């Protein structure tokens, strides 16, 4: 019997690192299968960025989804919103569709963790999916990633002006400043996130962020922006020649206290 071919897969999240990895490998590994786990709750900028990647690299992207969708799983969890402690969203809507896509095939999964970061996170643990980390193997750091993206003509996703990560518009890994900016950039999506907090028949309210609802958070908008700008000014003083979006991204990353998600935010 003919031996089954090993598949090569690369998950695009709509973020810069996985995109740079596609730039690096698309000629080296022409049989690469690119996929995007689509929760149907992503930012419009993410879909636009994926279109840009396809056009620039001339690749196909498989859009993988759980057919039942977020609202189904939310109902199964009795309206309890996902959180860093209860990451059912990642498992049901990102990892499971990927595992279904691979099935029982042997696959090498290329992951864009850089040599200058020490990230771990949610990842498929199926024994037939072998993760490899080309940036780490080749010692590529953030400056290399930015250069790869600039040279390819793809650049950074547009949401980097106000948010540092890809993923669902309501992702609970957002910082308070990013929620304020979501309200400004996409008021309709912010409103949907508000509805997820409060739309329960028995009047219960769950919150996406610790200690306050999104509407309470928005009432503190001026305070949150002022605090953010004060810290950013300090950061810019320390590196006056760097582009603003890089300073913003690095600054937001420094504020992370939770493990981000290797499937959602790479």
Q: Which residues bind ligand SF4 (CB under 6 A)?
A: 39, 82, 89-90, 93-94, 167-168, 171, 173, 261, 264
Closer residue to ligand SF4 (CB): 168 or 248: 168
In whole angstroms, give the CA distance from residue 198 to residue 178.
20
Using alpha carbons only, give the angle 251, 13, 245 rounded to the nearest 5 degrees. Answer: 30
Our CB check for ligand SF4 shows the closer of 29 and 259 to be 259
Burial class (CB in 10 A: 0-12, 13-18, 19+), 238: exposed
Dihedral sign, CA of 129, 69, 19, 252? negative
Q: How far is the CB of 91 from ligand SF4 (least distance, A)?
A: 9
* Smallest gap from residue 92 Cβ to ligand SF4 (A): 8
Closer residue to ligand SF4 (CB): 25 or 95: 95
- Report the residue number, 13 or 152, with the smaller CB distance to ligand SF4: 13
State in angstroms the smallest separation of the CB of 192 from ligand SF4: 13
Task: Please state the closest distance from residue 93 (CB atom) to ligand SF4, in A.
Answer: 5
- The three-state secondary structure class of 192 is helix
Closest by Cα among 133, 135, 132 to 146? 135
Output phi, psi for 4, to 5 deg.
-75, 140
Q: In this chain, which residue has its C-beta nearest to ligand SF4?
A: 167
């Amino acid at each position: 019997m003919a031996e089954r071919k090993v598949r090569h897969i690369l998950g695009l999240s709509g973020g810069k690192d996985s995109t740079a990895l596609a730039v690096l490998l698309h000629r080296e590994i022409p049989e690469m299968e690119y996929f995007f786990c689509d929760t149907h709750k992503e930012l419009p900028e993410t879909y636009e960025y994926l279109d840009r990647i396809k056009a620039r690299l001339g690749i196909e992207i498989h859009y993988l989804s759980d057919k039942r969708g977020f609202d189904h799983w939310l109902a199964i969890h009795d309206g309890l919103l996902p959180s860093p402690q209860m990451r059912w969203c990642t498992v049901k809507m990102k990892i499971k569709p990927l595992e279904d896509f691979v099935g029982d095939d042997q696959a090498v999964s290329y992951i864009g963790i850089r040599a200058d970061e020490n990230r771990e996170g949610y990842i498929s643990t199926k024994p037939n999916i072998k993760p490899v980390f080309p940036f780490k193997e080749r010692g590529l750091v953030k400056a290399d990633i930015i250069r790869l993206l600039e040279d390819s003509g793809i650049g950074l996703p547009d949401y980097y002006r106000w948010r540092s990560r890809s993923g669902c518009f309501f992702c609970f890994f957002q910082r308070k400043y990013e929620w304020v900016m979501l309200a400004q950039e996409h008021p309709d999506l912010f409103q949907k996130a508000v509805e997820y907090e409060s739309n329960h028949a028995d009047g219960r309210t769950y919150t996406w962020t610790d200690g306050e609802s999104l509407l309470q958070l928005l009432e503190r908008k001026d305070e949150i922006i002022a605090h953010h700008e004060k810290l950013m000014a300090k950061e810019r003083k320390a590196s006056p020649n760097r582009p603003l979006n890089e300073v913003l991204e690095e600054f937001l990353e420094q504020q992370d206290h939770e493990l981000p998600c290797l499937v959602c935010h790479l």
